[in-house]
C-alpha cells in the first residue's frame, strides 16, 4: 500500500530500489490534470451565426510551472483563441488547463525540460478537446487546434536565451566604451 501523502508512489511501478532500500531512480509523470479556468464568450450571437466572411482565428498560448512542494509542480497551459470576421467578433475562448506533475531525482535541466516541453505535450490533446467542445457549444464548428511541437519550441527558447546571454556578455557594461 502506498504511503499517505506520497503522490509519486504510483508513478514508479516496479522500480528497482537502491541496495540500501532508498528510492533514487529518476521519476517524472503526470499525477492529475484539470481545467483551472475557462472563459467562453459569444458576444454577437445570434447575429454572428449569419455572417459569411472568412474568420480570422488568432491563437496564443503560454506555458507556466509552479512548484507545489519538493516533488510536485503544477504545469499550466494557457490557450487563448479568438475568431473575428469583417462584421465583428465571433467568439473568444480562454483556457487554463493544468496538470500536477511529479518529479523525483531528476537533474535540474531534465526537470525543466519535462515541465516546459514534455508535460505540455502530454496535456495538449486534452486542452485541445476542451477548446473544440467549447467552440461547438458556442454554436460554431468545433475548432481543432493544430498540434504544437512543444519540444521544438522549448529548444528554440533555450537557443534564443543562450544567444541573448552571449550578446549581453559581449557588450561592455553601461557607461564604458
> Is 20 inside a domain boundary?
no
* pLDDT at position 170: 67
> Is 53 inside a domain boundary?
yes
Question: What's the structural domain count of the chain?
Answer: 1
> Is 3 inside a domain boundary?
no
Boundaries of domain holding 89: 28-165
Any idea what the CATH number is for the domain that residue 56 is in?
Answer: 3.10.420.10
> Is 173 inside a domain boundary?
no
Q: Which residue from 123, 119, 120, 103 is spatially nearest to 111, judged by alpha carbons?
A: 103
> Is 140 inside a domain boundary?
yes
150's grid cell: 512543444
* pLDDT at position 24: 83
> Is 36 inside a domain boundary?
yes
* pLDDT at position 155: 93
The structure's pTM equals 0.79
> Is 37 inside a domain boundary?
yes
* pLDDT at position 165: 86
> Is 38 inside a domain boundary?
yes
* pLDDT at position 169: 76
Block mean pLDDT (10 aa), the chain, length 177: 47 48 82 98 94 94 95 97 96 98 93 95 97 96 94 92 84 56
Amino acid at each position: 500500500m502506498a504511503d499517505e501523502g506520497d503522490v509519486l508512489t504510483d508513478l514508479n511501478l516496479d522500480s528497482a530500489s537502491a541496495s540500501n532500500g532508498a528510492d533514487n531512480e529518476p521519476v517524472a509523470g503526470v499525477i492529475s490534470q484539470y481545467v483551472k479556468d475557462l472563459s467562453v464568450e459569444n458576444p454577437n450571437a445570434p447575429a454572428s451565426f449569419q455572417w459569411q466572411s472568412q474568420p480570422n482565428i488568432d491563437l496564443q498560448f503560454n506555458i507556466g510551472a509552479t512548484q507545489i512542494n519538493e516533488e510536485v509542480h503544477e504545469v499550466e497551459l494557457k490557450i487563448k483563441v479568438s475568431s473575428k470576421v469583417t462584421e465583428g467578433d465571433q467568439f473568444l475562448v480562454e483556457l487554463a488547463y493544468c496538470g500536477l506533475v511529479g518529479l523525483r531525482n531528476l537533474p535540474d535541466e531534465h526537470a525543466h525540460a519535462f515541465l516546459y516541453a514534455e508535460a505540455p505535450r502530454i496535456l495538449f490533446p486534452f486542452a485541445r478537446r476542451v477548446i473544440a467542445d467549447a467552440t461547438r457549444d458556442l454554436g460554431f464548428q468545433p475548432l481543432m487546434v493544430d498540434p504544437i511541437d512543444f519540444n521544438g519550441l522549448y529548444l528554440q527558447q533555450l537557443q534564443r536565451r543562450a544567444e541573448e546571454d552571449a550578446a549581453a556578455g559581449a557588450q561592455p557594461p553601461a557607461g564604458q566604451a
